Structure 1
Amino acid sequence: MTDQQSVIFVIDDDLAVREALDSLFQSTGLNARFFESTDAFLQSERPDVPGCLVLDVRLPGLSGLDFQREMIKSGIHLPIIFITGHGDVPMSVRAMKAGATEFLTKPFQDQDLLDAIHAGFEKDMVRRRKASDIAALQERSSTLTSREREIMAFVVAGQLNKQIAAMLGLSEITVKVHRGQLMRKMQAKSVVDLVRMADQLSASFDNQQSFRVG
């Protein structure tokens, strides 16, 4: 996926800054959308493509740092590049700890901003790929029967077929059949592969549902 398919969202209440950035992005062939407030950004329709957010720290009403926190709560995962004319070390540390991609103090070099934007695009593409992979895993796991899910939990915990059979009161051959079915449905090539999938699913469910025993 190329940067030309990605979008930069800019929130800055200074018209001069928006115009300067618009000129820069047009000269480099980057797609950008501009907003003078966080409310205008939230009310807009955002295309389902990789992107990043260039955000002014000091805005009327909700500050950029506060908006960063609200985005996290709202499930908006765009990488953020902060720009400010009044930055300080504690402010930048707070922004970076909360997941910002970059914190640039005006006046900054155009190339520094462009580099941060490309890094933001890459970060968002990686996140989107991971989300797609998790969605596919969840789809596959939804096809498992309750017995297959039960056996999967024992398999990823390292239990052998005969141990699982004893614990569930089943024959070893029955466990072997269920195990083969769940491996096929999950498209797991090995137990190690299955454990990795179980860990990803468990993390995606925020530990509300686990494929681990115990």
Structure 2
Amino acid sequence: MQNNKTEHMSSSPMVHVVDDDEAVLDSVGMLLDSIGLINTCYKDAQEFLDAYSETEFDKHNGCILLDIRMPFISGIECQHRLEQMGCRMPIIFVTEHGDVPTAVEAMKNGAAEFIQKPFREQLLIDAIQKALQTNMKNQKRLEIVNQTQGKLASLTNRENQILNAIVTGKANKVIAIELHLSQRTIEIHRAHVMDKMGVNSLAELVKVVIDASPTD
């Protein structure tokens, strides 16, 4: 039961609603439509996973509203498979009262939120808006990281050596001794590094390198 809103620009965030209860899909879809949020509904986890694998929608721009208890593939199993597929969209789990311990475990595994059925409309809207805002921030950070990684890739081997030494807090004199170069040569390389990285100060250089480092 996919309800694809393909007429919208791919740059717009999309809410993916996955639930085996058709009444929930209809009500949530209508609610999201009423507040102008693009959404697509799926009748089970397999349908969503197939769509995620095969379609061309932006796989990182949006969030997922995922029922925990569904036939064949549970919401938890769907979460695990999405993680293996590299999905970065925040997941909001919808759960019955008895599934709360499972939902808590899902949050430990990276879920953004869980909501118990029956839920208040405003509670659901707030959770979705928060997830979309979080995802937008993560996307912006990823864009900056990718730009920084591109700049790092432009450095020569020698410039990388000097950059790594700078980031660990070593002074030019120490770097020169360790690399058997003159201090003036180190200063020239350091200036080239800062120019390629697009920074104006040592503090800014260290910050962009640290910010571009992988996080758990």
- TM tier, shorter chain? 0.7 to 0.9
Amino acid across the alignment from 1:124: N
Q: Note if contact 1:87-1:105 (Cα within 8 Å) is conserved in structure 2.
A: no
Q: Give the secondary-structure state (helix, strand or coil) at the position aligned to 1:52.
A: strand
2:213 maps to: 202
Shift in Å at residue 46 of structure 1?
Answer: 4.9
- Mapped to 2, the partners of 1:58 and 1:152 lie a distance apart of 50
2:163 maps to: 152
Percentage of identical aligned residues: 38
Amino acid across the alignment from 1:174: T
- Greater Cα shift, 71-80 or 45-54: 45-54
> Unaligned 5+ residue runs, structure 2?
1-10
Alignment TM-score, normalising by the size of structure 1: 0.88
Q: Note if contact 2:45-2:74 (Cα within 8 Å) is conserved in structure 1.
A: no
1:5 maps to: 12
CA RMSD of aligned residues (A): 1.8
* Counterpart pick for 2:118 among 100, 107, 113: 107
* Counterpart pick for 2:28 among 16, 21, 25: 21
Shift in Å at residue 42 of structure 1?
Answer: 2.1
Amino acid across the alignment from 1:21: V
* Counterpart pick for 1:37 among 44, 47, 63: 44
- Mapped to 2, the partners of 1:199 and 1:53 lie a distance apart of 30
1:167-198 deviations in Å (ceiling 9; x for gaps): 11111111110000001101122222222222
Structure 2 counterparts to residues 88-103 of structure 1, below 5 A: 88-103=99-114
1:129-150 deviations in Å (ceiling 9; x for gaps): 1110110001000110000001
Amino acid across the alignment from 1:26: D
Q: Note if contact 1:57-1:65 (Cα within 8 Å) is conserved in structure 2.
A: yes
Q: Give the secondary-structure state (helix, strand or coil) at the position aligned to 1:5.
A: coil
Structure 2 residue 68 is matched with structure 1 residue 47: no
Shift in Å at residue 79 of structure 1?
Answer: 0.7
Q: Give the secondary-structure state (helix, strand or coil) at the position aligned to 2:92.
A: strand
> Unaligned 5+ residue runs, structure 1?
207-214
Q: Give the secondary-structure state (helix, strand or coil) at the position aligned to 1:61.
A: coil
Q: Note if contact 1:13-1:37 (Cα within 8 Å) is conserved in structure 2.
A: yes
Shift in Å at residue 86 of structure 1?
Answer: 4.3
Shift in Å at residue 92 of structure 1?
Answer: 2.6
- Mapped to 2, the partners of 1:103 and 1:160 lie a distance apart of 49
Alignment TM-score, normalising by the size of structure 2: 0.87
4+ aligned runs moved over 6 Å, structure 1:
none
- Mapped to 2, the partners of 1:166 and 1:110 lie a distance apart of 65
Count of residues in correspondence between the two structures? 202
